[in-house]
Structure 1
């Protein structure tokens, strides 16, 4: 994910507390994974390279959960399934009938958007007792997590477990993952994973994306095939005015001009750059940013569609239909949308349930939001590039003993319990009548639950297969599942789908300047010519060499 205030927020990228996102288990080809090796790069025969055959030996055996409940809305063509019924505690399955931890302690560093609860609170204590160990949480502000992560990984005092979001896989972070964290293959590859049934039920694509440096290192937080960027609209406002969502970019711009009224503090949208990339079919970010063209590869920066997406985004800013705070890259896009100051936003789908719940329970019961279908820039069918099976991982310190690594895996096994199990309910809501009560068939947090239950901590350790599970907001479940189902026929796998590729260190910062320049272009502070010049400079400074490196990688695997 991008790293600017105008991009979809980190929290919006995450599934909400009742959701564990993942790709589906079957139908995805097994691809080789690459990492840095002794030759200083992830390809060209370095030890970090693994062939398709080797990857098959590394990956855990998949075994579906025996206690997971059937979804209310089944998966279609790989879309996420949905659950909107509440299951009473006595009817929940149990995946961790006894604590298997050694009784020791583990330190864990994860991002947190919110106020950390006090140490020793009843929620954390209950989770500790369930797994049989004590977790000392070192939560960090999610908004500045990357800065802390870089500092920690460069030092000698590394926590036992460290979460690394995919949007931080830049610079020296991939190299640090290989050097600092344990190879989990001896514990999880093949049938070894069956000692941890909930981890075994994580679909193969999520594990496939967890191979770093030629070894299985990451505990995945699986993610859906799509949903990192979703174009939302205020459905309640649209219906009240008889509006329908636009179906082409020309319609979008004309419609945005019509509904913007700066005098009434209403603007059509926030920054739509990330959605524009999808409208124009722009290749996604690393490592899938290449496509074949004859005997060579073309990078996303070199695509006409990349420039066209930026140019269209600039038209929105030039037309004055983007909220001024978004122009200045300040404030909170979700708050502006909830307040009706903007009527369309491009965010991660994780905001969907949270915003609806906040508004409906906070005095705005008529609030409704929905997702617009993607379309091609000309109004035809879109090309939606599939995301890898996981985009966030937790890694285990390689200096831990075997017994403590197994403790960490027992914790991960608890965290990955699927919907319909007691452990999943405990992780997401805490203890009934202490952290939540059941009102009209849905869980409602108590004051103590609001303060103590921060499931983001445990979600990052490991998560189960994707599910949209909101018994408190059944319409959100229906809308979200329907949107996924409508988009899936347009999903395509990019060239390096499903892979973690460690590029040589000399390319680590090659693309650092582009995201800021993109925002400068869309806001009129730089021109398309400036971007074209930057691409030419990128090629001279290593882009062409990087292209050859990827071509050699493909030739070696042919």
Structure 2
């Protein structure tokens, strides 16, 4: 599991939630499989960074309650590979901080919300000392509900806003409706809430909206979470070698493919191509820009962008891509059965698929082994990878809330941000032992009631630093973390990494058509001249003006990343 990862996957227009939108169940639940894009946010057009931001950040105090088996390195998650022993769980919140306030929380929810008085909600409220009342809203239409609520005078005490919903008037509403938490959290003030103090500073910087610390973040690793996954068992049986360049990949793909036998090498590898050629991230608008030799350049203007698309097109043209991908039927859900059946051996997807595919095949297909390839440089050298933003979901407190309510919200967050291996973490992510989960051979598994009650609730308020733990498949946890560590060594932070940025509304839709154009080009439905013309049109219709706008932003604020 990746307990607090809200990850990005190959279609940033698609969001697939599971029993743990933010905190995937270690064994009983399924991790978040895909994520979304959308503009960054802020109070107005612009951002807060540099010295101004540093004044607002909470002091960072690393937690020492639990020691991970694999410490974070190069931006990776921390890893836990041991069996879970409930008797060894630590206590990270020794005294109840809540003072009994009633706190209403509006949050996106995927699935059927549990009863309001369920045992999970009751147990958490008793643990924290706060009466949290959930106002769950359909996650698939959350943006509509969010807009309506924030436009009204009836705003709940806490509102959860995913980054992909930060569009339209939502960013300005965040500033107008929600409290400045700086007086309670900036600098040493955060030490009253040790688990919040252990959240990395990058995630807090992402929580600055309109010149104030307003959000409680859900941190994530900044290392790319798109992994070229492959059938390790078949590779070993057939003697295939993991490729280390684009040419080697093509040669391998041709060797694997036998259409008559219904075996193809891969699905659409566009996102791996972007990685191999060092194309800046397309996950969020601001991450598409980077200063190169003193000039701000957008990802679609680079030679690498065109080269990556051209290489991907060659894969399709060579017939090594599964026909489903030709038709656009290669989502995470569609891919699973055919990957397990060996119809294709490689695909690029979210890191969480490494565990979820392993878990689903463990009984029915014990020989099945999935692993992650290291991303290769297109020419066989080291890759240049680009950091994704270190937090994507935020909880905000109504600016009309009394101090007592704000303090009680922070008491909730201090519990939900408890690290893996603590009693508070288990309570937040699993509920009540016996009622919501059981532990057998060191592996916690949710009961049927747990899968009803313990779903994307308290984890949405705040989360600990990125963590990966799979007591059922420790080798997978180790593999995932070590993959992040290796890839983190090649990861760069672009000029606007970690900043909350709101682009002017007139350019909101400027880049919307590129993703479809990319997909059409690599499948042979468009020509390179079409792509080049689209880039030229993008410049003339606002891209060059937008560059000037970002240039001014960078000159005034400096880069967020050192």
For Structure 1 versus Structure 2, the TM-score category normalised by the shorter chain is: 0.7 to 0.9
Q: 1: CA distance between counterparts of 2:242 and 2:341?
A: 19
| Residues 400-439 of structure 1 mapped to structure 2, 5 A cutoff | 400-439=401-440
Deviation at 1:266, TM superposition (A): 3.5
C-alpha distance in structure 2 between counterparts of 1:247 and 1:163, whole Å: 42
Map of 1:531 onto structure 2: 531
Q: Secondary structure at the match of 1:288?
A: helix
Asked if structure 2 preserves the Cα contact closer than 8 Å seen for 1:11 and 1:351, the reply is no
Output the CA distance in 1 between the equivalents of 2:341 and 2:109: 24
- Which residue does 1:46 correspond to in 2? none
Alpha-carbon contact 1:8-1:348 (below 8 Å) kept: no
Partner residue in 1 for 2:308 = 309
Q: Structure 1 484/296 Cα, relative in aligned 2: closer, same or farther at 3 Å?
A: closer
Gap change, CA 1:232 and 1:140, over 3 Å in 2:
farther
Could you list the runs of 5+ residues in structure 1 that have no partner in the other structure? 22-32, 43-48
Q: Aligned partners of 2:120, 2:41: CA distance in 1, in Å? A: 40
Q: 1:238 to 1:537 in 2, by over 3 A?
A: same
CA distance in 2 between partners of 1:62 and 1:530 (Å): 49
Structure-2 change in CA distance of 1:139 and 1:523 (3 Å):
farther
In structure 1, what is the equivalent of residue 368 of structure 2? 367
Residue 24 of structure 1 corresponds to which residue in structure 2?
Answer: none
| Structure 2 counterparts to residues 7-26 of structure 1, below 5 A | 10-11=16-17, 16-18=24-26
Match for 1:349 among 348, 351, 355? 351
The one of 87, 90, 105 aligned to 1:90: 87
Query: Structure 1 156/311 Cα, relative in aligned 2: closer, same or farther at 3 Å?
Result: farther
Cα separation, 1, equivalents of 2:231 and 2:107: 32
Provide closer, same or farther for how the CA distance between residues 416 and 521 of structure 1 changes in structure 2, counting only shifts above 3 A. Answer: same
Aligned pairs (5 A) from 1:224-243: 224-243=221-240
Cα deviation for residue 520 of structure 1 reads 2.3
Offset of residue 170 of structure 1: 4.2
Tell me what 2:180 maps to: 183
Counterparts of 1:440 and 1:472 in 2: how far apart (Å)? Answer: 9
How far 1:293 sits from its partner (Å)?
A: 3.8
* Cα deviation, residue 263, structure 1: 4.4
Task: Look up the match of 1:212.
Answer: 209
Q: Distance in 1 between matches of 2:440 and 2:11?
A: 37
1:79 aligns with 2:80: no
What is the SS of the residue equivalent to 1:287?
helix
Cα separation, 2, equivalents of 1:424 and 1:169: 28
Q: For residues 161 and 262 of structure 1, what CA distance do their matches in structure 2 show?
A: 54
How far off its partner does 1:126 sit?
1.3
| 1:324 corresponding residue in structure 2 | 323
**1:364–1:6 Cα change, 3 Å:** farther
1:344 Cα deviation from its structure 2 partner:
1.6
CA distance in 2, matches of 1:6, 1:505: 20
Tell me if 1:195 matches 2:192.
yes
Structure 1 vs Structure 2 CA RMSD? 2.9
Task: Give the TM-score, by structure 1 length.
Answer: 0.87
Which SS does the other structure have where 2:457 is aligned? helix
Report the counterpart of residue 391 of structure 2 in structure 1: 390
Cα distance in 2 between the residues matched to 1:250 and 1:148: 49
Equivalent residue, structure 2, for 1:27: none
Match of 1:449 in 2: 450
Distance in 1 (CA, whole Å) between partners of 2:222 and 2:264 is: 31
**Residue 277 of structure 2: which of 277, 280, 284 is its match?**
280
Q: Decide which moves more: 306-315 or 417-426.
A: 306-315
Residue 556 of structure 1, CA deviation: 2.9
- Distance in 2, Cα, partners of 1:155 & 1:320: 54
Match of 1:291 in 2: 290
User: For residue 63 of structure 1, what is the aligned residue in structure 2?
Assistant: 61
CA contact (8 A) 2:23 2:429 kept: no
In structure 2, distance between residues paired with 1:409 and 1:199:
9
Asked if 2 retains the 8 angstrom alpha-carbon contact of 1:269 and 1:344, the reply is yes
- Gaps in structure 2 of 5+ consecutive residues: 1-6, 32-39
Q: 1:445 to 1:423 in 2, by over 3 A?
A: same
For residues 377 and 169 of structure 1, the distance between their equivalents in structure 2, rounded to whole angstroms, comes to: 35
Q: Counterpart in 2 of 1:544?
A: 544
Q: 1:124 & 1:327 partners in 2: Cα distance?
A: 46
Could you report, residue by residue, the CA deviation over 1:489-513 in whole angstroms, capped at 9, with x for unpaired residues?
Answer: 2111212222122222322222222
Q: 1-side partners of 2:92 and 2:309: how far apart?
A: 48
Change (3 A) 1:397 1:82: same
Inter-partner Cα distance in structure 2 for 1:88 and 1:329: 44
The CA distance in 1 between the partners of 2:98 and 2:307, in whole Å, is 54
Determine the structure 1 residue equivalent to 2:493. 493
How high is the TM-score relative to the length of structure 2? Answer: 0.86
- Rate the CA distance shift 1:2–1:390 in 2: closer, same or farther, 3 A: closer
Verify the 8 A CA contact 1:269 1:322 in the aligned structure 2.
yes
Q: Structure 1 540/213 Cα, relative in aligned 2: closer, same or farther at 3 Å?
A: same
CA distance in 2, matches of 1:370, 1:320: 24
SS of residue in 2 equivalent to 1:524: coil
How do residues 255-270 of structure 1 correspond to structure 2 at under 5 angstroms?
255-270=252-267
